[in-house]
Amino acid sequence: MIHARISGTGSYLPGAPVTNDDLVARGIETSDEWIATRTGIRARHFAAEGQSASDLAEVASRRAIEAAGASGDDIDLIIVATSTPDFIFPSTAALLQSRLGIRNDGAAFDVQAVCSGFAYALSIAEKFIRSGSHQRALVVGAEVFSRILDWSDRGTCVLFGDGAGAVVLEAADQPGVLATALHADGLHHKILAVPGAISSGKVLGDPFLRMDGQAVFKFAVRVLGDVASEVLDAAGMSVDQIDWLIPHQANIRIIQSTAKRVGIPLEKVIATVGAHGNTSAASIPLALDAAIRDGRIVRGQNIVLEGVGGGFTWGAALIAY
Ligand code: UT7
């Protein structure tokens, strides 16, 4: 039986941290106290002008490939989860393949599931590898949400940041990804959306991120709790066997409520939202890489990763690391 195992991780945050006080200094009518109390966010990073999702993805990917002890040409599948691609087309994944100098005719495509994008991409890659069709996948979450924020909407612009995280997932004899679950309910598409579009070079409608924060909050806590239980059940495991929970990093209060619903103590929850803000599809691989590099996550541990986002979409993966 072929398993799909994480062999390396990498991540990248552009520029220096931008604190809540820095946002106040830039003229946003907010305060460190409001943002920190409601969200746990203290800082985030923003891409420089001209820096795109593929720029961030490239650095994170090179780090992940190095950590896996692989080379670019070993990668025969690239999946980039992003809602802020460089272009409508070509895909950010195809651009990334070119930037990494990979010329092996492997597959490359983007996945658009907003903040659930990494859970979706990882689950897709796992199925390709387990089928035997591909050997080594680069799975990336890369976002430049700063480009779709309305800086006059203080209810949203203080929440998000830019960044990228990547994992190399490869065929192995030993178990890696133990269970995955993906879901969507398009009925709720309006509570978190960029409701505009670009056509014939013109912006149609509203091109910025809009959100009903309270509706998103309630939805997120419910489905993140449910989907964690779903992957545990699918793998026949109990919550006591989980070493780490890595929920989507949107808001510390959502993370705490989710942990409570799942029944996992907060000491076993990885939270990077305070330093990264909400980086959408990049948030889970950024948190995973941070916890691997600082030594909290070690080989042999079981991890639940889970995302929720616009669409509405949600999903989880249970991983033996
Ligand atoms: O990937 C998923 C992404 N989405 C999320 O994570 C969002 C989940 N939702 C939330 O985290 C919360 O709903 C928010 C943090 C976004 C908002 O918290 P809230 O407790 O739901 O606040 P609210 O929207 O009800 O606003 C309360 C007050 C309002 O003032 P009044 O009307 O009570 O005078 C807002 O105008 O807070 C005000 N407010 C702010 N004040 C200072 C809204 N944004 C800000 C701000 N700074 N940045």
Give residue 152's pLDDT: 97
Q: Indicate the SS3 state at residue 177.
A: strand
Q: Indicate the SS3 state at residue 59.
A: helix
> How many other C-beta atoms lie within 10 A of the C-beta of residue 178?
21
Are 8 and 69 within 8 A, CB to CB? yes
Give residue 124's pLDDT: 98
- The 8-class DSSP code of residue 236 comes to T
- The tokens describing 132, both together, are 């035997």
What region, left, alpha or beta, does residue 297 occupy, with left being phi > 0 and alpha being psi -120 to 50 degrees? beta
Q: Would you say the pTM of this structure is higher than 0.95?
A: yes
Where are the domains positioned within the chain?
Answer: 3-173, 178-320
Give residue 198's pLDDT: 78
Give residue 109's pLDDT: 98
- Please state, in angstroms and rounded to a whole number, the distance separating the CA atoms of residues 256 and 261: 9
- Please state, in angstroms and rounded to a whole number, the distance separating the CA atoms of residues 22 and 274: 15
Instruction: Identify the architecture of domain 178-320 in CATH.
Output: 3-Layer(aba) Sandwich (3.40)
Give residue 185's pLDDT: 98
- Please state, in angstroms and rounded to a whole number, the distance separating the CA atoms of residues 204 and 177: 41
Q: Which atom of ligand 1 is nearest to the CA of 217?
A: 8
- CB of 154 shorter than 6 A to ligand 1: yes
Pocket test for ligand 1, best of 214, 224, 312 (most atoms within 8 A of CB): 214
- The 8-class DSSP code of residue 93 comes to H
CA 277 to each of CA 94, 113, 257, 268: distance values in angstroms, whole numbers, following the listed order: 27, 19, 18, 20
- Please state, in angstroms and rounded to a whole number, the distance separating the CA atoms of residues 10 and 285: 8
- Please state, in angstroms and rounded to a whole number, the distance separating the CA atoms of residues 84 and 112: 9
Are 141 and 281 within 8 A, CB to CB? yes
Q: Do domains 3-173 and 178-320 have the same CATH topology?
A: yes
Residues annotated catalytic, as ranges: 115, 248, 278
Helix (H) or strand (E) holding 143: strand 136-144
- Please state, in angstroms and rounded to a whole number, the distance separating the CA atoms of residues 67 and 75: 13
- Please state, in angstroms and rounded to a whole number, the distance separating the CA atoms of residues 12 and 52: 12
Torsion of CA 180, 178, 300, 252, to 10 degrees: 20
Pocket test for ligand 1, best of 35, 38, 148 (most atoms within 8 A of CB): 38
List for the chain the helix, strand, coil content (%; round to 5). 40, 25, 35
How many CA atoms are closer than 13 Å to the CA of 151, on its beta-carbon side? 8
- Of all protein residues, the one whose alpha carbon is nearest to atom 28 of ligand 1 is 155
Task: Spell out the per-residue pLDDT of the chain, length 321, in tens.
Answer: 999 999 999 999 999 999 999 999 999 999 999 999 999 999 999 999 999 999 999 999 999 999 999 999 999 999 999 999 999 999 999 999 999 999 999 999 999 999 999 999 999 999 999 999 999 999 999 999 999 999 999 999 999 999 999 999 999 999 999 999 999 999 999 999 999 987 888 989 999 999 999 999 999 999 999 999 999 999 999 999 999 999 999 999 999 999 999 999 999 999 999 999 999 999 999 999 999 999 999 999 999 999 999 999 999 999 999
Q: Which CATH number applies to 3-173?
A: 3.40.47.10
Q: Which atom of ligand 1 is nearest to the CA of 158?
A: 48
